[in-house]
Structure 1
């Protein structure tokens, strides 16, 4: 027996919630990828060089660079919102 599902209705509120969820997932993936990538590089360098301090440096650097990328990419509202919020256009004129 097959079960049929009704297509989900999309509403503006549902689309906004979905967009927020997608943006949150992107932010989380930046954080995880930054820590994993630079932590992995630090671990590999520690393993090859026989040191113990490069893994923590890699983890902190990965988190810091991930936060930088998140702020750079998601910290500034789109141009249309900037103008509406500040009451100006893209060139800063009213």
Structure 2
């Protein structure tokens, strides 16, 4: 529920008011770092988990190659999960165009 005093202060431009025109993209500026860490975690976690599973199967069956297949499967699975969560695709703005890489000189979005 909104505070009526804060809403009234924002309408009159008083100090301490927040700008309500900020979109969800303005909330966090470290989204690229967080997405990179998530991709890294998925891939490394997949390699560790599936390598341990492969190591256990190698121990049970007396082979030596399943641990390597498990590591490869974990890496591919981690990349697949990060891709399905949208962490490896380029960011796009609302109308479907690619987001600009830097602000333009005139302050407008001139990305093509």
- TM, length-normalised to structure 2: 0.55
Number of aligned positions between the proteins:
73
Aligned-pair CA distance for 1:83: 3.0
1:43 and 1:82 mapped to 2: Cα distance? Answer: 46
Alignment partner, residue 59 of structure 2 = 47
Structure whose alpha-carbon radius of gyration is higher: 2
Gaps of 5+ in 2: 1-24, 99-112
Residue number among 20, 31, 34 corresponding to 2:46 in the alignment:
34
Greater share of residues in helix: 1
Could you list the runs of 4 or more consecutive aligned residues of structure 1 that deviate by over 6 angstroms after TM superposition?
A: none
Alignment partner, residue 60 of structure 1 = 72
| Residue 83 (str. 1) matches residue 95 (str. 2) | yes
Aligned-pair CA distance for 1:56: 0.5
- Bigger shift: residues 38-47 or 18-27: 18-27
Relative to structure 1, the CA distance from residue 52 to residue 84 in structure 2 (aligned partners, 3 Å threshold; closer, same or farther) is same
Aligned-pair CA distance for 1:77: 5.8
CA RMSD across the alignment:
2.7
- TM, length-normalised to structure 1: 0.64
